Chain A
Amino acid sequence: MRPFRYERATDVSGAIAMVAAEPNGVFLAGGTNLVDHMRLGIAHPDLLVDVRRLTSDQIVELPDGGVRIGAAVTNSDLAVNRTIRHRYPMLTEAILSGASGQLRNFATTGGNLLQRTRCPYFQDLTTPCNKREPGSGCSALGGFNRDHAVLGVSEHCVATHPSDMAVALAALDAVVHTEGPDGERTIPLRELHRLPGDTPERDTVLAHGELITAIDIPALGFATNSHYRKVRDRASYAFALVSIAAALQVDDGTVRDVRVALGGVAHKPWRATKVEEALRGTPATEDNFRAAAVVELADARPLPGNAFKIPLARNVITRVLMDLAEEDR
Protein backbone atom coordinates (compact mmCIF):
# COMPACT_ATOMS: atom_id res chain seq x y z
CA MET A 1 0.00 0.00 0.00
CA ARG A 2 1.28 3.46 -0.87
CA PRO A 3 1.85 5.93 2.00
CA PHE A 4 -0.95 8.40 2.60
CA ARG A 5 -1.92 11.16 4.98
CA TYR A 6 -4.88 10.60 7.29
CA GLU A 7 -6.88 13.58 8.50
CA ARG A 8 -9.99 14.24 10.53
CA ALA A 9 -12.04 17.37 10.03
CA THR A 10 -14.19 19.06 12.64
CA ASP A 11 -17.16 19.40 10.30
CA VAL A 12 -18.49 18.40 6.88
CA SER A 13 -17.45 21.60 5.11
CA GLY A 14 -13.94 21.26 6.50
CA ALA A 15 -13.70 17.68 5.23
CA ILE A 16 -14.92 18.74 1.79
CA ALA A 17 -12.35 21.54 1.63
CA MET A 18 -9.57 19.10 2.50
CA VAL A 19 -10.52 16.59 -0.20
CA ALA A 20 -11.27 19.29 -2.77
CA ALA A 21 -7.79 20.76 -2.27
CA GLU A 22 -6.04 17.42 -2.85
CA PRO A 23 -6.52 16.00 -6.37
CA ASN A 24 -5.72 12.53 -5.06
CA GLY A 25 -7.75 12.86 -1.87
CA VAL A 26 -10.73 10.70 -0.89
CA PHE A 27 -13.26 10.39 1.90
CA LEU A 28 -13.02 7.43 4.30
CA ALA A 29 -16.13 6.17 6.09
CA GLY A 30 -16.45 2.49 7.09
CA GLY A 31 -13.56 1.62 4.79
CA THR A 32 -14.83 -1.88 4.04
CA ASN A 33 -14.36 -1.39 0.28
CA LEU A 34 -11.79 1.42 0.10
CA VAL A 35 -9.22 -0.20 2.41
CA ASP A 36 -9.44 -3.42 0.41
CA HIS A 37 -8.92 -1.46 -2.82
CA MET A 38 -5.90 0.32 -1.35
CA ARG A 39 -4.40 -3.02 -0.35
CA LEU A 40 -5.09 -4.48 -3.80
CA GLY A 41 -3.54 -1.44 -5.48
CA ILE A 42 -6.77 -0.40 -7.21
CA ALA A 43 -6.95 2.83 -5.20
CA HIS A 44 -3.87 4.78 -4.15
CA PRO A 45 -4.96 8.03 -2.53
CA ASP A 46 -2.47 10.49 -1.06
CA LEU A 47 -4.98 11.74 1.50
CA LEU A 48 -7.79 10.06 3.45
CA VAL A 49 -10.25 12.38 5.19
CA ASP A 50 -12.23 10.46 7.79
CA VAL A 51 -15.94 11.34 7.68
CA ARG A 52 -17.21 8.35 9.67
CA ARG A 53 -18.28 10.54 12.57
CA LEU A 54 -19.06 13.71 10.62
CA THR A 55 -22.31 13.07 8.79
CA SER A 56 -25.45 12.08 10.66
CA ASP A 57 -25.78 8.57 12.06
CA GLN A 58 -29.49 9.05 12.71
CA ILE A 59 -32.66 7.92 10.95
CA VAL A 60 -35.41 10.51 11.30
CA GLU A 61 -39.01 10.53 10.15
CA LEU A 62 -39.94 13.33 7.75
CA PRO A 63 -43.22 15.29 7.98
CA ASP A 64 -44.45 13.84 4.65
CA GLY A 65 -44.22 10.27 5.96
CA GLY A 66 -40.81 9.50 4.50
CA VAL A 67 -37.52 9.01 6.31
CA ARG A 68 -34.09 10.66 6.20
CA ILE A 69 -31.09 8.41 6.65
CA GLY A 70 -27.80 10.00 7.68
CA ALA A 71 -24.91 8.94 5.45
CA ALA A 72 -23.01 7.55 8.45
CA VAL A 73 -25.82 5.20 9.54
CA THR A 74 -24.34 1.72 9.40
CA ASN A 75 -25.88 -0.91 7.15
CA SER A 76 -26.85 -2.91 10.26
CA ASP A 77 -28.53 0.01 11.99
CA LEU A 78 -30.49 0.85 8.86
CA ALA A 79 -31.61 -2.73 8.24
CA VAL A 80 -32.87 -3.34 11.77
CA ASN A 81 -34.47 0.07 12.29
CA ARG A 82 -38.11 -0.57 13.25
CA THR A 83 -39.53 2.13 10.99
CA ILE A 84 -37.63 0.76 8.01
CA ARG A 85 -38.61 -2.84 8.82
CA HIS A 86 -42.26 -1.86 9.00
CA ARG A 87 -42.57 0.63 6.12
CA TYR A 88 -39.95 -0.61 3.67
CA PRO A 89 -39.35 -4.33 4.29
CA MET A 90 -37.65 -4.64 0.88
CA LEU A 91 -34.89 -2.34 2.14
CA THR A 92 -34.30 -4.38 5.29
CA GLU A 93 -34.25 -7.59 3.27
CA ALA A 94 -31.89 -6.10 0.67
CA ILE A 95 -29.35 -4.93 3.22
CA LEU A 96 -29.47 -8.17 5.19
CA SER A 97 -28.87 -10.19 2.03
CA GLY A 98 -25.59 -8.37 1.38
CA ALA A 99 -22.10 -8.86 2.84
CA SER A 100 -21.73 -10.37 6.33
CA GLY A 101 -22.70 -9.29 9.83
CA GLN A 102 -19.17 -8.05 10.50
CA LEU A 103 -19.12 -5.87 7.37
CA ARG A 104 -22.67 -4.54 7.78
CA ASN A 105 -21.77 -3.36 11.29
CA PHE A 106 -19.23 -0.87 9.94
CA ALA A 107 -20.17 -0.22 6.31
CA THR A 108 -22.15 3.01 6.03
CA THR A 109 -25.16 4.01 3.98
CA GLY A 110 -23.18 6.55 1.95
CA GLY A 111 -20.31 4.13 1.45
CA ASN A 112 -22.61 1.31 0.38
CA LEU A 113 -23.81 3.45 -2.53
CA LEU A 114 -20.23 4.22 -3.56
CA GLN A 115 -18.80 0.69 -3.36
CA ARG A 116 -17.27 -0.42 -6.64
CA THR A 117 -17.86 -3.40 -8.87
CA ARG A 118 -16.60 -6.84 -7.90
CA CYS A 119 -15.73 -7.66 -11.53
CA PRO A 120 -12.69 -9.95 -11.09
CA TYR A 121 -10.77 -8.12 -13.82
CA PHE A 122 -11.34 -4.75 -12.15
CA GLN A 123 -9.78 -6.22 -9.02
CA ASP A 124 -6.86 -7.90 -10.81
CA LEU A 125 -4.13 -5.41 -11.68
CA THR A 126 -2.54 -7.83 -14.14
CA THR A 127 -5.49 -7.73 -16.56
CA PRO A 128 -6.81 -4.94 -18.81
CA CYS A 129 -9.86 -3.10 -17.45
CA ASN A 130 -11.35 0.10 -18.81
CA LYS A 131 -12.84 0.98 -15.45
CA ARG A 132 -9.52 0.73 -13.62
CA GLU A 133 -7.29 1.87 -16.48
CA PRO A 134 -9.26 3.73 -19.19
CA GLY A 135 -8.42 2.61 -22.70
CA SER A 136 -6.76 -0.65 -21.67
CA GLY A 137 -9.69 -2.83 -22.82
CA CYS A 138 -12.34 -5.01 -21.21
CA SER A 139 -11.14 -8.47 -20.20
CA ALA A 140 -14.63 -9.67 -19.31
CA LEU A 141 -15.94 -9.45 -22.89
CA GLY A 142 -13.85 -12.44 -23.97
CA GLY A 143 -13.28 -13.91 -20.53
CA PHE A 144 -15.23 -14.99 -17.47
CA ASN A 145 -18.50 -13.08 -17.66
CA ARG A 146 -20.98 -15.14 -15.66
CA ASP A 147 -21.43 -12.30 -13.14
CA HIS A 148 -21.66 -9.50 -15.66
CA ALA A 149 -24.29 -7.10 -16.96
CA VAL A 150 -26.91 -7.76 -19.63
CA LEU A 151 -28.74 -4.41 -19.59
CA GLY A 152 -27.32 -0.97 -20.41
CA VAL A 153 -23.94 -2.45 -21.32
CA SER A 154 -21.34 -0.88 -23.58
CA GLU A 155 -18.46 -2.28 -25.61
CA HIS A 156 -16.16 -0.75 -22.99
CA CYS A 157 -17.55 -2.25 -19.81
CA VAL A 158 -20.00 -4.93 -18.67
CA ALA A 159 -19.43 -4.59 -14.92
CA THR A 160 -22.37 -4.73 -12.52
CA HIS A 161 -23.04 -2.53 -9.52
CA PRO A 162 -22.67 -4.74 -6.45
CA SER A 163 -25.01 -3.09 -3.92
CA ASP A 164 -28.21 -4.78 -2.78
CA MET A 165 -29.30 -1.77 -0.72
CA ALA A 166 -29.14 0.54 -3.74
CA VAL A 167 -31.56 -1.70 -5.67
CA ALA A 168 -34.22 -1.26 -3.00
CA LEU A 169 -33.50 2.48 -2.81
CA ALA A 170 -33.89 2.75 -6.61
CA ALA A 171 -37.30 1.08 -6.40
CA LEU A 172 -38.27 3.45 -3.59
CA ASP A 173 -37.33 6.64 -5.50
CA ALA A 174 -34.81 7.61 -2.84
CA VAL A 175 -33.11 11.00 -3.09
CA VAL A 176 -29.43 11.55 -2.28
CA HIS A 177 -28.30 14.72 -0.51
CA THR A 178 -24.76 15.84 -1.22
CA GLU A 179 -22.49 18.67 -0.24
CA GLY A 180 -19.46 19.66 -2.26
CA PRO A 181 -17.13 22.52 -3.12
CA ASP A 182 -19.96 24.06 -5.17
CA GLY A 183 -22.56 23.74 -2.43
CA GLU A 184 -25.42 21.37 -1.67
CA ARG A 185 -27.62 19.52 -4.12
CA THR A 186 -30.04 16.61 -4.29
CA ILE A 187 -29.78 13.78 -6.81
CA PRO A 188 -32.48 11.16 -7.44
CA LEU A 189 -30.86 7.85 -6.55
CA ARG A 190 -31.73 6.50 -9.99
CA GLU A 191 -29.49 9.21 -11.47
CA LEU A 192 -26.59 8.83 -9.01
CA HIS A 193 -25.02 5.86 -10.76
CA ARG A 194 -24.09 5.95 -14.45
CA LEU A 195 -24.24 3.54 -17.31
CA PRO A 196 -20.70 2.77 -18.50
CA GLY A 197 -20.83 4.24 -22.03
CA ASP A 198 -17.30 5.15 -23.06
CA THR A 199 -16.30 6.39 -19.60
CA PRO A 200 -16.72 3.35 -17.35
CA GLU A 201 -14.10 4.74 -14.94
CA ARG A 202 -16.84 7.01 -13.59
CA ASP A 203 -19.30 5.04 -11.46
CA THR A 204 -21.42 8.01 -10.39
CA VAL A 205 -22.21 11.62 -11.27
CA LEU A 206 -20.52 12.92 -8.10
CA ALA A 207 -17.77 15.51 -8.51
CA HIS A 208 -14.40 15.38 -6.75
CA GLY A 209 -14.88 16.45 -3.16
CA GLU A 210 -18.65 15.93 -3.25
CA LEU A 211 -19.85 14.04 -0.16
CA ILE A 212 -23.10 12.14 0.34
CA THR A 213 -24.62 13.50 3.55
CA ALA A 214 -28.05 11.83 3.69
CA ILE A 215 -30.58 9.76 1.76
CA ASP A 216 -34.31 10.47 1.81
CA ILE A 217 -36.93 7.83 1.14
CA PRO A 218 -40.33 9.28 0.27
CA ALA A 219 -43.54 7.92 1.72
CA LEU A 220 -44.87 4.93 -0.22
CA GLY A 221 -47.75 3.32 1.62
CA PHE A 222 -47.89 0.10 -0.34
CA ALA A 223 -44.18 -0.54 0.23
CA THR A 224 -45.31 -2.40 3.35
CA ASN A 225 -46.08 -5.11 0.76
CA SER A 226 -42.59 -5.41 -0.68
CA HIS A 227 -39.77 -7.92 -0.94
CA TYR A 228 -36.16 -8.22 -1.99
CA ARG A 229 -35.13 -11.53 -3.50
CA LYS A 230 -31.55 -12.37 -4.40
CA VAL A 231 -30.38 -15.28 -6.53
CA ARG A 232 -26.72 -16.14 -6.04
CA ASP A 233 -24.23 -18.98 -6.32
CA ARG A 234 -24.17 -19.59 -2.54
CA ALA A 235 -26.98 -19.51 0.01
CA SER A 236 -25.32 -16.60 1.81
CA TYR A 237 -22.47 -14.11 1.58
CA ALA A 238 -22.25 -13.83 -2.21
CA PHE A 239 -23.04 -11.14 -4.74
CA ALA A 240 -26.22 -11.30 -6.77
CA LEU A 241 -26.50 -13.06 -10.09
CA VAL A 242 -29.93 -11.45 -10.32
CA SER A 243 -31.86 -9.69 -7.59
CA ILE A 244 -35.13 -7.83 -7.42
CA ALA A 245 -36.71 -5.26 -5.14
CA ALA A 246 -40.44 -5.03 -5.69
CA ALA A 247 -43.52 -3.47 -4.09
CA LEU A 248 -47.04 -4.23 -5.28
CA GLN A 249 -50.50 -2.86 -4.62
CA VAL A 250 -53.43 -4.91 -5.90
CA ASP A 251 -57.10 -3.81 -5.67
CA ASP A 252 -59.86 -6.24 -6.71
CA GLY A 253 -57.37 -8.29 -8.66
CA THR A 254 -55.98 -5.30 -10.56
CA VAL A 255 -52.49 -3.85 -10.23
CA ARG A 256 -53.03 -0.39 -8.84
CA ASP A 257 -49.35 0.44 -8.41
CA VAL A 258 -46.01 -1.33 -8.58
CA ARG A 259 -42.29 -0.64 -8.13
CA VAL A 260 -39.59 -2.93 -9.47
CA ALA A 261 -35.80 -2.60 -9.59
CA LEU A 262 -33.20 -5.20 -10.53
CA GLY A 263 -29.69 -5.88 -9.27
CA GLY A 264 -26.87 -7.90 -10.77
CA VAL A 265 -27.88 -7.07 -14.33
CA ALA A 266 -26.42 -3.60 -15.00
CA HIS A 267 -23.76 -1.03 -14.20
CA LYS A 268 -26.30 0.65 -11.94
CA PRO A 269 -29.37 -0.37 -9.95
CA TRP A 270 -31.84 -1.03 -12.78
CA ARG A 271 -35.28 0.46 -12.29
CA ALA A 272 -37.63 -1.72 -14.32
CA THR A 273 -39.89 1.06 -15.59
CA LYS A 274 -41.17 -1.06 -18.48
CA VAL A 275 -42.47 -3.67 -16.04
CA GLU A 276 -44.19 -0.96 -14.03
CA GLU A 277 -45.77 0.73 -17.06
CA ALA A 278 -46.96 -2.56 -18.51
CA LEU A 279 -48.62 -3.67 -15.27
CA ARG A 280 -50.43 -0.60 -13.91
CA GLY A 281 -54.16 -1.08 -14.33
CA THR A 282 -53.92 -4.66 -15.58
CA PRO A 283 -55.11 -7.87 -13.89
CA ALA A 284 -52.55 -9.20 -11.42
CA THR A 285 -51.99 -12.51 -13.13
CA GLU A 286 -48.94 -14.66 -13.70
CA ASP A 287 -49.31 -14.23 -17.46
CA ASN A 288 -49.29 -10.45 -17.18
CA PHE A 289 -46.33 -10.45 -14.78
CA ARG A 290 -44.38 -12.66 -17.17
CA ALA A 291 -45.31 -10.59 -20.22
CA ALA A 292 -44.12 -7.42 -18.46
CA ALA A 293 -40.84 -9.11 -17.52
CA VAL A 294 -40.33 -10.15 -21.14
CA VAL A 295 -40.69 -6.52 -22.24
CA GLU A 296 -38.12 -5.34 -19.69
CA LEU A 297 -35.52 -7.89 -20.80
CA ALA A 298 -36.17 -7.42 -24.53
CA ASP A 299 -33.19 -5.07 -24.88
CA ALA A 300 -30.79 -7.33 -22.98
CA ARG A 301 -27.42 -8.00 -24.63
CA PRO A 302 -26.01 -11.19 -23.15
CA LEU A 303 -22.47 -12.55 -23.31
CA PRO A 304 -21.71 -16.26 -23.59
CA GLY A 305 -21.34 -16.65 -19.82
CA ASN A 306 -24.33 -14.68 -18.61
CA ALA A 307 -27.17 -15.38 -21.07
CA PHE A 308 -28.83 -17.37 -18.27
CA LYS A 309 -29.53 -14.09 -16.49
CA ILE A 310 -32.27 -13.18 -18.99
CA PRO A 311 -34.65 -16.09 -18.27
CA LEU A 312 -33.55 -15.98 -14.63
CA ALA A 313 -34.54 -12.31 -14.35
CA ARG A 314 -37.88 -12.98 -16.08
CA ASN A 315 -38.61 -15.82 -13.68
CA VAL A 316 -37.58 -13.91 -10.57
CA ILE A 317 -39.69 -10.89 -11.53
CA THR A 318 -42.70 -13.11 -12.16
CA ARG A 319 -42.26 -15.16 -8.98
CA VAL A 320 -41.80 -12.21 -6.63
CA LEU A 321 -44.77 -10.33 -8.08
CA MET A 322 -46.87 -13.51 -7.73
CA ASP A 323 -45.83 -13.77 -4.08
CA LEU A 324 -46.63 -10.11 -3.44
CA ALA A 325 -50.02 -10.43 -5.16
CA GLU A 326 -50.79 -13.42 -2.94
CA GLU A 327 -49.72 -11.55 0.22
CA ASP A 328 -51.76 -8.48 -0.73
CA ARG A 329 -55.04 -10.43 -0.66
Chain B
Amino acid sequence: MNNRVFCILAALLALAGCATDPAPTEQLRLTEQALVQARAVGATELLVDMQLAEQKFALAQKNMPEQDYKRARLLAEQAELDARLAEAQVLTSKSQEQLTALNARITRLRKQLGDLQ
Protein backbone atom coordinates (compact mmCIF):
# COMPACT_ATOMS: atom_id res chain seq x y z
CA MET B 1 0.00 0.00 0.00
CA ASN B 2 2.81 2.31 0.92
CA ASN B 3 4.42 1.59 -2.36
CA ARG B 4 1.35 2.67 -4.25
CA VAL B 5 1.26 5.94 -2.40
CA PHE B 6 4.93 6.45 -3.19
CA CYS B 7 4.26 5.69 -6.79
CA ILE B 8 1.51 8.30 -7.01
CA LEU B 9 3.60 10.87 -5.20
CA ALA B 10 6.48 10.28 -7.57
CA ALA B 11 4.20 10.77 -10.55
CA LEU B 12 2.85 13.98 -9.04
CA LEU B 13 6.39 15.20 -8.50
CA ALA B 14 7.22 14.48 -12.09
CA LEU B 15 4.25 16.60 -13.10
CA ALA B 16 5.09 19.37 -10.66
CA GLY B 17 7.30 21.05 -13.24
CA CYS B 18 4.33 21.50 -15.52
CA ALA B 19 2.12 22.86 -12.81
CA THR B 20 4.09 26.09 -12.80
CA ASP B 21 2.74 26.92 -16.27
CA PRO B 22 -0.11 29.44 -16.18
CA ALA B 23 -3.53 28.14 -17.11
CA PRO B 24 -3.82 28.35 -20.94
CA THR B 25 -7.37 29.70 -20.89
CA GLU B 26 -6.80 32.01 -23.85
CA GLN B 27 -5.32 29.21 -25.97
CA LEU B 28 -8.29 26.97 -25.21
CA ARG B 29 -10.62 29.74 -26.30
CA LEU B 30 -8.70 30.16 -29.56
CA THR B 31 -8.79 26.43 -30.17
CA GLU B 32 -12.49 26.25 -29.54
CA GLN B 33 -13.01 29.12 -31.95
CA ALA B 34 -10.99 27.30 -34.63
CA LEU B 35 -13.07 24.18 -34.06
CA VAL B 36 -16.35 26.10 -34.31
CA GLN B 37 -15.20 27.72 -37.53
CA ALA B 38 -14.10 24.40 -39.02
CA ARG B 39 -17.43 22.82 -38.14
CA ALA B 40 -19.24 25.81 -39.63
CA VAL B 41 -17.73 25.19 -43.07
CA GLY B 42 -18.68 21.52 -42.79
CA ALA B 43 -15.62 19.77 -41.36
CA THR B 44 -16.64 16.54 -39.61
CA GLU B 45 -14.74 13.81 -37.82
CA LEU B 46 -14.66 11.94 -41.10
CA LEU B 47 -11.62 14.12 -41.77
CA VAL B 48 -8.56 12.73 -40.01
CA ASP B 49 -7.30 16.17 -39.01
CA MET B 50 -10.67 17.20 -37.62
CA GLN B 51 -10.77 14.01 -35.57
CA LEU B 52 -7.30 14.81 -34.22
CA ALA B 53 -8.40 18.32 -33.37
CA GLU B 54 -11.49 17.17 -31.47
CA GLN B 55 -9.60 14.49 -29.57
CA LYS B 56 -6.74 16.78 -28.57
CA PHE B 57 -9.13 19.52 -27.53
CA ALA B 58 -11.09 17.08 -25.37
CA LEU B 59 -7.84 15.92 -23.75
CA ALA B 60 -6.71 19.49 -23.18
CA GLN B 61 -10.01 20.29 -21.48
CA LYS B 62 -9.61 17.21 -19.32
CA ASN B 63 -6.13 18.35 -18.31
CA MET B 64 -7.34 21.73 -17.09
CA PRO B 65 -8.99 20.70 -13.79
CA GLU B 66 -6.03 18.38 -13.22
CA GLN B 67 -3.88 21.53 -13.45
CA ASP B 68 -1.71 19.85 -16.05
CA TYR B 69 -1.40 23.20 -17.76
CA LYS B 70 1.61 22.55 -19.93
CA ARG B 71 0.08 19.47 -21.48
CA ALA B 72 -3.21 21.31 -21.91
CA ARG B 73 -1.48 24.16 -23.71
CA LEU B 74 0.50 21.92 -26.05
CA LEU B 75 -2.56 19.87 -26.92
CA ALA B 76 -4.69 22.94 -27.46
CA GLU B 77 -2.06 24.56 -29.68
CA GLN B 78 -1.88 21.47 -31.84
CA ALA B 79 -5.66 21.08 -31.92
CA GLU B 80 -6.06 24.67 -33.12
CA LEU B 81 -3.85 24.05 -36.13
CA ASP B 82 -5.40 20.65 -36.80
CA ALA B 83 -8.79 22.33 -36.94
CA ARG B 84 -7.55 25.13 -39.17
CA LEU B 85 -6.02 22.60 -41.55
CA ALA B 86 -9.26 20.62 -41.63
CA GLU B 87 -11.17 23.82 -42.39
CA ALA B 88 -8.80 24.69 -45.24
CA GLN B 89 -9.11 21.17 -46.63
CA VAL B 90 -12.90 21.40 -46.66
CA LEU B 91 -12.79 24.76 -48.45
CA THR B 92 -10.34 23.45 -51.03
CA SER B 93 -12.37 20.35 -51.73
CA LYS B 94 -15.53 22.44 -52.06
CA SER B 95 -13.85 24.70 -54.60
CA GLN B 96 -12.64 21.58 -56.38
CA GLU B 97 -16.24 20.35 -56.65
CA GLN B 98 -17.32 23.74 -57.98
CA LEU B 99 -14.58 23.54 -60.59
CA THR B 100 -15.72 20.09 -61.67
CA ALA B 101 -19.33 21.25 -61.96
CA LEU B 102 -18.40 24.39 -63.87
CA ASN B 103 -16.18 22.44 -66.23
CA ALA B 104 -19.02 20.01 -66.90
CA ARG B 105 -21.34 22.93 -67.66
CA ILE B 106 -18.86 24.49 -70.04
CA THR B 107 -18.39 21.18 -71.83
CA ARG B 108 -22.18 20.92 -72.16
CA LEU B 109 -22.45 24.46 -73.51
CA ARG B 110 -19.66 23.80 -76.02
CA LYS B 111 -21.38 20.63 -77.18
CA GLN B 112 -24.69 22.40 -77.63
CA LEU B 113 -23.02 25.20 -79.55
CA GLY B 114 -21.27 22.62 -81.70
CA ASP B 115 -24.58 20.86 -82.40
CA LEU B 116 -26.14 24.11 -83.56
CA GLN B 117 -23.41 24.92 -86.04
State whether these chains interact: no
- Which residues of A does B touch, CB under 8 Å? none
- Which residues of B does A touch, CB under 8 Å? none
